[in-house]
């Protein structure tokens, strides 16, 4: 996959694809959306954002044909927090942009903005009115020890180590500059979510002309035919 031609920053982009998709009932990464598997949407959005892309997933064979490195969980059973830990441990770069595999409307300008902020903090995490978005965020390897300590305590919540790091929240007003409708954070957890997102991708139906306009059009056509 080719980027935009600019030199990418020293960032690893990591896609967390190890979830069990219980509510969806199938592997979300390979759900078809607009004729492409969902994981392909994610990889295309990340192309050129950093210097490498990796997928965190335990089934290496399933993702083998995508042309990116696949890393299984170092500590299985710890959910997304364990996935972030694996991404940081296996990344070639000190900064890691982490996204979930089920976010089809990722905004490349917004991702670049997060990456641009990340050189001064241990983590950069969007914060929306209904809570933080830790699976659309940048973490540095400085988070490894705090995450390890949280896991040792039996924690599985991603935010469990936030109090131990230098954290920069990205507020809604900042996000709206790049993504006014906050579509970047739409994800697929249920079949209803999938259906809603498919509807968003449908082209708008052509508006039928008003009855008077149809009459006028016919009148004009008749006039043209008479010449």
What local confidence, expressed as pLDDT, does residue 6 receive?
74
| Domains recognised in the chain with CATH numbers | 11-204 (3.90.550.10)
Calculate the CA dihedral of residues 198, 108, 115, 7 and round it to 10 degrees.
140
Return d(Cα 29, Cα 25) in angstroms, integer: 12
227 residues of the chain, pLDDT tens digit each: 444 457 889 999 999 996 655 544 467 888 888 888 999 999 999 999 999 999 999 999 999 999 999 999 999 999 999 999 999 999 999 999 999 999 999 999 999 999 999 999 999 999 999 999 999 999 999 999 999 999 999 999 999 999 999 999 999 999 999 999 999 998 877 777 777 777 777 665 555 455 554 444 443 344 444 44
Structure tokens at 192: 């209803």
Residue of 157, 185, 194 whose CA lies nearest to 25: 194
Residue of 212, 18, 183, 193 whose CA lies nearest to 98: 18
Strand partners, 123: 139, 167
Structure tokens at 75: 């500590």
pLDDT digits (tens, 9 = 90+) for 122-175: 999 999 999 999 999 999 999 999 999 999 999 999 999 999 999 999 999 999
pTM of the model: 0.83
**Pairing of β 95-100 and β 123-128:** unpaired
């Amino acid at each position: 996959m080719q980027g935009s031609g600019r030199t990418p920053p020293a960032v690893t982009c990591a896609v967390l694809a190890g979830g069990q998709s219980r509510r969806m009932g199938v592997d979300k990464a390979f759900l078809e959306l607009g004729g492409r598997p969902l994981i392909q949407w994610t990889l295309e959005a990340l192309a050129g954002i950093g210097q490498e892309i990796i997928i965190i997933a335990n089934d290496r064979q399933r993702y083998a044909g995508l042309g990116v490195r696949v890393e299984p969980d170092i500590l299985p059973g710890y959910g997304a927090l364990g996935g972030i830990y694996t991404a940081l441990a296996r990344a070639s770069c000190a900064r890691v942009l982490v996204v979930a595999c089920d976010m089809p409307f990722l905004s490349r300008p917004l991702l670049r903005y997060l990456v641009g902020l990340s050189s001064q903090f241990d983590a950069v995490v969007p914060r929306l009115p209904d809570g933080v978005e830790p699976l659309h965020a940048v973490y540095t390897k400085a988070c490894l020890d705090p995450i390890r300590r949280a896991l040792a305590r039996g924690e599985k919540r991603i935010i469990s180590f936030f109090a131990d790091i230098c954290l920069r929240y990205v507020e809604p007003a900042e996000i709206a500059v790049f993504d006014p409708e906050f579509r970047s954070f739409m994800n697929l957890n249920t079949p209803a979510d999938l259906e809603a997102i498919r509807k968003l991708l449908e082209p708008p139906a052509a508006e039928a002309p008003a009855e008077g306009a149809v009459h006028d059009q016919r009148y004009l056509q008749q006039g043209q035919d008479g010449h």
